[in-house]
Amino acid sequence: MHGLLDHRLVFVTGKGGVGKSTVATAIGLLAARRGLRTIVAELSSQDRIQRAFDREVAQFEEVELAPGLSTISIDPQHAMEEYLRVKAGPLGSALGQSRLFGVFAMATPGMRELLTIGKVWELAQLHRRTRGAAPYDLVIVDAPATGHGVGLLRTPRTFAEIALVGPIAAQANAIAATIADRAFTGVVAVCTAEEMPVNETIELNDELAGDGLGLDLVIVNAVYPDRFDGAEAEQLAAVAVSSESSGTRGAVRAALSEHARAQTHAAQRARLTEELAAPVITLPYVFGEELGRGELEALADALQDATR
């Protein structure tokens, strides 16, 4: 994976609707196959990954999906309670359950993001704060959509600037240093080969560069196969008009439509390769009704092939 799996912490981000969760899980499967103890962290409480593996949804706990692959859904409120329990014992527990304190903490700008990324950071530590928890070799974060994703990566630093002293500032500084360490933390952009997602990926790259970070890999998801060459497309275009069978006309139009998309995909992919220094790989469109374990394993295969 172009060294991606050598990081301990990998953020997977991209425009909404491009298949971030799917790709994050496929990376997780591939890492687990290579013998890395891996966890995929979801931040949106959707528990999509557990559902893809037909698991009973267990929120906010580390759940093993397959040998070597776990998942967790991170929630700020829950992360705060855990943090307080570990840091301040019974008093912290009481505080964590105090409604007033909860409102205060959650209303503090950036606090939700800091708590979330704090939990991610904790998962990536060799010495886990959570008692009895074994360390992971790789933590993959199914991060929020591009704009919010960058905000999330930036949170510890901005927070450290607000809270100049005290444990939170120290914690935020430690997390910020971890994120800035490009050997430790990797960033993957997922996009589809369309105008807007490609623009967003290029902008994301610029924004990360502004923060001293960068993209380690770009994964172009859901790329259509191109089954027809130019001459065939012309032949089909003629048939789409001339054929007397409406079934044939429909089938040929569908073929032309997918051909047009495939052409767009190739052009957009070329834009990415041109504009970005990071390696760009593609994953095929999965023509399936639903993404289950089988499709995810197939995507992991495709990832493996793409990076060979």
Partner 1 sequence: MSVAELLDGRRVCVCGGSGGVGKTTTSAAIALGMAAQGARVAVVTIDPAKRLANALGLEQLQNEPRRIAPERLAAGGMEISGELWAMMLDPKRTFDELIDRIAPDAQRAADIKANRVYRQLSSAVSGSQEFTAIAKLFDLQREGDFDLLVLDTPPSRNALDFLDAPGRLTSFLEGRALKTFVRPPGGLGLGMRVLGRGASPLFGVLRRITGIDLLSDLSSFFGLLGDMTDDFSERAAAVEAMLKAPSTAFLIVTSAHDHAIDEAIWFRRTLQESGLPFAGAIVNRVHHDLLDGGEPDDLAAPLAAEIGRSLGGRVIANLHDYHVLARRDQRSIARLRRALGARPLLQVPHFDDDVHDIAGLLQVTRYLFASEDERARMLADVVS
The reply on whether position 91 binds partner 1 by CB under 8 A is yes
For the segment 255-274, give every residue that binds partner 1 (CB under 8 A).
255-258, 260-261, 264
Contact predicate 96/85, CB 8 Å? yes
Listed ranges 66-74, 122-130, 133-141, 240-248: which one lies at the site for partner 1 (CB under 8 A) = 240-248
Within the chain, strands assigned E span: 9-13, 38-42, 63-66, 69-73, 138-142, 185-192, 217-223, 280-284
* Helix runs in the chain, H state only: 20-33, 48-52, 76-97, 99-107, 111-123, 146-162, 166-180, 195-210, 230-242, 246-275, 293-306
C-alpha to C-alpha distance for 53 and 70, rounded to whole angstroms: 11
Out of 54, 56, 67, 100, point to the residue binding partner 1 (CB under 8 A): 100
Q: Which two tokens stand for residue 116?
A: 């979330």
Q: Give whole-number Cα distances, 98 to 14, 58, 81, in Å.
A: 36, 24, 10
The reply on whether position 292 binds partner 1 by CB under 8 A is no
Place of tokens 């610029």: 206
Q: Which two tokens stand for residue 140?
A: 């993959």
Out of 44, 77, 125, 130, point to the residue binding partner 1 (CB under 8 A): 44
The reply on whether position 287 binds partner 1 by CB under 8 A is yes
Contact predicate 223/282, CB 8 Å? yes
For the segment 183-202, give every residue that binds partner 1 (CB under 8 A).
194-197, 199-200
The reply on whether position 15 binds partner 1 by CB under 8 A is yes
Q: Which two tokens stand for residue 67?
A: 């040998």
Cβ distance to partner 1 smaller for residue 3 or 109 = 109
Out of 253, 271, 298, 306, point to the residue binding partner 1 (CB under 8 A): 253
Cβ distance to partner 1 smaller for residue 35 or 254 = 254
Q: Shortest distance, CB of residue 210 to partner 1, whole angstroms? A: 13
Q: Shortest distance, CB of residue 55 to partner 1, whole angstroms? A: 17
4 DSSP assignment:
G
Q: Which two tokens stand for residue 267?
A: 């052009």
The reply on whether position 97 binds partner 1 by CB under 8 A is no
- What radius of gyration, in Å, describes the C-alpha atoms of the chain? 22
Cβ distance to partner 1 smaller for residue 18 or 65 = 18
Of 22, 1, 13, the residue nearest 293 (C-alpha):
22
Site string for partner 1, 151-180 (x = CB under 8 A): xx-xx--xx-xxxxxxxxx-----------
Q: Shortest distance, CB of residue 186 to partner 1, whole angstroms? A: 21
For the segment 219-238, give every residue that binds partner 1 (CB under 8 A).
227-228, 232, 235-236
Q: Give whole-number Cα distances, 278 to 3, 59, 78, 202, 215, in Å.
A: 12, 35, 36, 11, 6
The reply on whether position 113 binds partner 1 by CB under 8 A is yes
The reply on whether position 106 binds partner 1 by CB under 8 A is yes
The reply on whether position 182 binds partner 1 by CB under 8 A is no
Distance in Å from the first CA to the final CA of the chain: 8
The reply on whether position 144 binds partner 1 by CB under 8 A is yes
Cβ distance to partner 1 smaller for residue 68 or 96 = 96
Cβ distance to partner 1 smaller for residue 64 or 206 = 206
